[in-house]
Structure 1
Amino acid sequence: MKNDVFLKKFRQTIARYDLLEIPPAAGLGRGDKILVAVSGGPDSVALLYALLEIKDEFNLRLYVAHLNHKLRGRESDQDQKFVKNLASKLNLKFFSKSIDVKKEARKKKLSLEEAARLVRYRYLENLADRIKAQKIAMGHHADDQAETFLMRLLRGAGGSGLSGIPPKRGKIVRPLIEIKKEEIEKFLKQKGLSYRTDSSNLLPNYFRNKIRLLLLPQIKKNFNPKIVDVLNRASNIISLQQQYVEKNCEEILRLVCKSKRKNKIVLDLKRFIHYDISLKREMIRLCVKELVGDRFASLTTSSTELSFDSIERTLSLIQKEKSGRKVKLIGNTWAEVSGENLAIYSRKEKQYNYPISFPGKKNLRSLGMNIKSKIVSRPSLPQKIKSKGEEVAFLDWEKLKGQFRLRSRRPKDKFKPLGMQGTKSIADFLIDMKVPRYERDEVMLLTTKGKIAWILGHRIGDEFKVTDKTKKVLRIELIQKQK
């Protein structure tokens, strides 16, 4: 058949990158549940029909998802209607959602391209989780790979960026990634399949469009007609090299890492500085990748990607020993030098304010800690309690009347620290205690009747201390959890 070449390459890509689960035999066992992202354009329509061709062979369960970005008015609505009718015609379950991307872009201060990409990935990942799909199939192809390579090259990307669009990452699979645009269009024409054309793709007003419409045609015409193949090969070579570097760097990182929490990784600078600069860069990148998680794959556009410059600024802080200074790496993720430590952390934007009761054990998963507490009699404790409230706090139970709350610190918070005269702002207290800047925003407070009884892990309030007159003592133990 005429379509054999296209489907042969499609199957080869699936096998080469292990994109789909292969049942033990045709008709036996359940294959993957796949959420197919269908915009209505030629690439996603070809992807859907190609998956239908191998559906029985792999025992696939296919579902269609469409996101209406609301960027082209009536045209966007017609795209959505087209995909809905296509899914109905093929007897496939259809999911769709409309999101005002312009509004999202303004809200998050992103370009339209960036906002559209982020909401699309978020929608697909959330939907896949909801319907328990093992895979999300997307229609990126070889020409997309070539465009991405050039875009990142022109922006000064390193090995990670030039590795390009991965065939597989997490739940996302891209079975068309080694198939060229002209081959996709030929497949659609031979099968007599209709599709939608996105008019915005025909205008050279976005960076990617300029690459596609202006730069690549000139390179094909004047330098190399096989430039798409060449750039794909280069991207693949760099990707394999990058995988090797990452694997080795992960082993080194385990030696350099001092501590790891949900939103923070602390590296030992004494060890870190002895490695080659290329490995230092890669260690920083891997730390960011771990903190950002699944979002790292989609943060690949100009204003949100982890830039070479931000990593270089971090290395400059280390070289100049600028303790207490920080560099923004990506999104809300920062690097900060503090003494002999390099902390890479994501600043928490959420302000916590929980009601909490005592005694008992509390698992505060979102804060990465446990709290164990019990009430003990004063005579059962030593005459002089040495703890000031670091990992264990001893508080006069009778003075703790009222509702307890566990909350984030606020700019104007003040308290009277144990053993000190007068009140002090929490911020000044933490600075005096030489708490690194990257840890100050994470500090949690235990309050009662609006008064600060304990800065967790640091100091109790003087008015709640245990005295000779104390009868009952609330003993609270803080257990920090590693990620």
Structure 2
Amino acid sequence: VGVSGGVDSMVLLRLLEEFSPVAGFRLHVAHLNHLIRGEMADKDEMLVCDYCKRKGLAFYVKRVNIPEYAEKEGISLEMAGREVRYSFFREVKRSLPNSVIATGHTLDDHVETVLLRFFRGTGVEGLRGIPIKEGDVIRPIRFARKRELYQFAKRNNVPFNEDHTNFLEIYPRNIIRHAIVPRLEKDINPNVLGAVDNLSRMAEELMDYLKETLDKLYKRFVEEKTESLVCLRIKRSDVLHPFLLKAFLRSVMIDFGVDPSKVTYSKITELYRLVCEGHAGKRYDLGDNISFYVDRDRFYLKVEKLVNWDEIEVPKNGLVENQYFTVKTEVLSKGKVEFEKDNRSVELLDFDKVKGKLILRRWRQGDRIRPLGMKGYKKVSDVFVDCKVPLWKKDIIPVLADNEEVVWVCGLVMSDNYKVDEETKNVLKVEYYEK
């Protein structure tokens, strides 16, 4: 049980105490001191520890400087507290087989969350609010009003501490709690909490129904998925209702690691527009170093890494590599060469035609190559277009150059000027492998 020392969690603890002998489960209490409110935070810790000692309950306490953590991670105090708190709860849970985490969220907390998300601009999923059960977390008193918990605590002598910051109307949640909800109850609907709760239940039912459909769309549209890349293939003929496509894009973004709080309606709408229009070469910044690239009927979510690698001199015989690729070279006499057809990772060139030193480098504007079998030259940028190389990949694919002349756009096009012919004596075998 996560216990802060406030009325919600202390009442939950008392209720579970009374219920545990009947249900046959054991209670373990976890308290996180956020080190935010000075003496009051220490008093909360003392209250929880004293209560557990008095009742003979196993308890676990941890102190974490939440303001420091929030600053380091670049997130709000509320989000930092939540992350560290649940991390601590799961740390305790791992030491207790067959256990679940119980928290003291109430109906008030749930409705405040729904309204807060609504005012900030959420989608249907955000209207679910705080679920009663979420993975390994249960919220047994989410049905109860906070005022009912105060009444229970008073009748049953449940000790608790009051957090004075909960009454300061400088935080969005407190404004909803103390100003907006009371006004709505007074002038619009006395049962506004019940109405919002009903809305959240419908949203939850809709999302549960949608999950099965989204799973099918994943199998249909996700062509490739790694830790740093997701490739979607959505054709113009794949007609989807706007709601369904937007829900799918939102799900892909969150699954890939975009902070759910940053998956705004405007971002989803922009991605939807890009998918529908399908203009190749478009890029959209999603935040958190993640970008969305458009390449005709393929769409990429990619973690942006600084593409900055130096020129590499290529040895006659040996292996060179960096974070993006590995290149292996070997000089052979023509008679010992085995020609491989349809293997774009391996090229053979006339080593005696090399005029200077061979280097691997990034492509440059103005680079040209004379493709095998052609008399004229072609821009390397056009090679990328013809070979349908995604925008994000162009700076990763190396160019093998003889001084300034392009010999091979690795894995794509070889120069006719360096082809092996009847007069060739020495062959340079070059193998190129992406990482």
TM-score range, shorter chain: 0.7 to 0.9
1:81-120 equivalences in 2 (<5 Å): 81-120=46-85
Once residues 137 and 356 of structure 2 are traced to their aligned partners in structure 1, the CA distance between those partners, rounded to angstroms, is 57
CA contact (8 A) 1:256 1:268 kept: yes
Residues 291-345 of structure 1, C-alpha deviation per residue, up to 9 Å, x if partnerless? 23xxx8xx56xxx332111111112223443433333446444432123211234
Q: Which residue of 1 aligns with 2:296?
A: 339
- Say which is worse superposed, 158-167 or 108-117, in terms of deviation: 108-117
Measure how far apart 1:476 and its partner are: 9.9
Q: 1:136 to 1:385 in 2, by over 3 A?
A: same
SS at 1:265 equivalent: strand
Percentage identity across aligned positions? Answer: 26
Deviations 1:387-444 (A, max 9, x none): 8774x899xxxxxxxxxxxxxxxxxxxxxxx999753534759977564345579x69
What is aligned with 2:268? Answer: 311
Conserved? CA contact 2:110–2:129, under 8 Å: yes
Matched letter for residue 326 of structure 1? R
* Kept after mapping to 2: 8 A contact 1:393/1:477: no
Q: 2:138 and 2:31 mapped to 1: Cα distance? A: 17
CA-CA distance at 1:88 after TM superposition: 2.4
Task: Give the whole-Å Cα distance in 2 for the aligned partners of 1:91 and 1:112.
Answer: 33
* Aligned equivalent of 1:325: 282
The superposition leaves residues 234-287 of structure 1 with CA deviations (integer Å, 9 ceiling, x where unpaired) of 111121122212322322332222223344332212058511111110111221
Residue 351 of structure 2 corresponds to none
Q: 2:128 aligns with which of 141, 159, 163?
A: 163
Q: CA deviation at 1:458?
A: 5.2
Q: TM-score, normalised by structure 2?
A: 0.73
Match of 2:18 in 1: 53
Q: Which shows bigger deviation, 322-331 or 230-239?
A: 322-331
Distance verdict in 2 for CA 1:264–1:52, change over 3 Å: farther
Residue 188 of structure 1, aligned match among 149, 153, 158: 153
Provide the TM-score with structure 1 as the length reference: 0.66
What 5-or-longer segments of structure 2 have no aligned partner? 309-322, 349-353, 368-379, 399-409, 413-423
Distance of 1:134 and 1:439 partners within structure 2: 46
Q: Which amino acid aligns with 2:390?
A: P
**CA offset at residue 205 of structure 1?**
0.8
Tell me: CA distance 1:133–1:209, structure 2 relative to 1, closer, same or farther (3 Å). Answer: farther
Q: Deviations over 1:102-145 (max 9, x none)?
A: 22222233232233223323333344345556422121111111
Task: Give the equivalent residue in structure 2 for 1:423.
Answer: 359
| Structure 1 pair 81–439 and aligned structure 2 pair: CA distance change class (3 A) | farther
Against the structure 1 CA distance between its residues 199 and 387, is the aligned structure 2 distance closer, same or farther, given a 3 Å change threshold? farther
What CA RMSD, in Å, does the superposition of the two structures yield over aligned residues? 4.5
Q: Encode CA deviations 1:28-80: one digit per residue, 9 max, x unaligned.
A: xxxxxxxx211111111122222222323333233222222221112112212
Q: Which residue of 1 aligns with 2:113?
A: 148
1:176 aligns to what? 141
Cα contact 1:142–1:180 (8 A) shared by 2: yes
Q: Does structure 1 residue 234 correspond to structure 2 residue 234?
A: no
Superposition pairs for residues 56-67 of structure 1, below 5 Å?
A: 56-67=21-32
1 CA distance for matches of 2:298 and 2:138?
38
Distance in 2 between residues matched to 1:79 and 1:437, nearest whole Å = 55
1:80 aligned to 2:37? no
Which one of 386, 390, 395 corresponds to residue 436 of structure 1? Answer: 390
Question: Residue in 1 aligned with 2:417?
Answer: none
Q: Write the distance in 2 (CA, Å) between the matches of 1:76 and 1:63.
A: 20
* 1:246 and 2:201 are equivalent in the alignment: no
Q: Distance in 2 between matches of 1:113 and 1:153?
A: 18
Answering whether residue 179 of structure 2 is matched by residue 214 of structure 1, we say yes
CA–CA separation in structure 1 for the residues paired with 2:66 and 2:109: 22
| Larger Rg computed on CA atoms | 2
Per-residue deviation, residues 353-410 of structure 1 (Å, max 9, x unmatched):
xxxxxxxxxxxxxx9xxx9x9xxx99998523568774x899xxxxxxxxxxxxxxxx
SS in structure 2 at match of 1:251: helix
User: Structure 1 counterpart of 2:338, which letter?
Assistant: Q
Cα gap change, 1:139/1:312 in structure 2, threshold over 3 Å: closer, same or farther? same
Contact between 2:384 and 2:394, CA under 8 Å: does it hold in 1?
A: no
TM superposition shift of 1:174:
1.4
Cα gap change, 1:317 to 1:234, in 2 (>3 Å) = same
The corresponding residue for 2:163 is 198
Which residue number in structure 1 is paired with residue 372 of structure 2?
Answer: none
Q: Return the letter of the residue paired with 1:280.
A: L
Q: Structure 1 residues 476 and 319, CA, compared in 2 at 3 Å: closer, same or farther?
A: closer
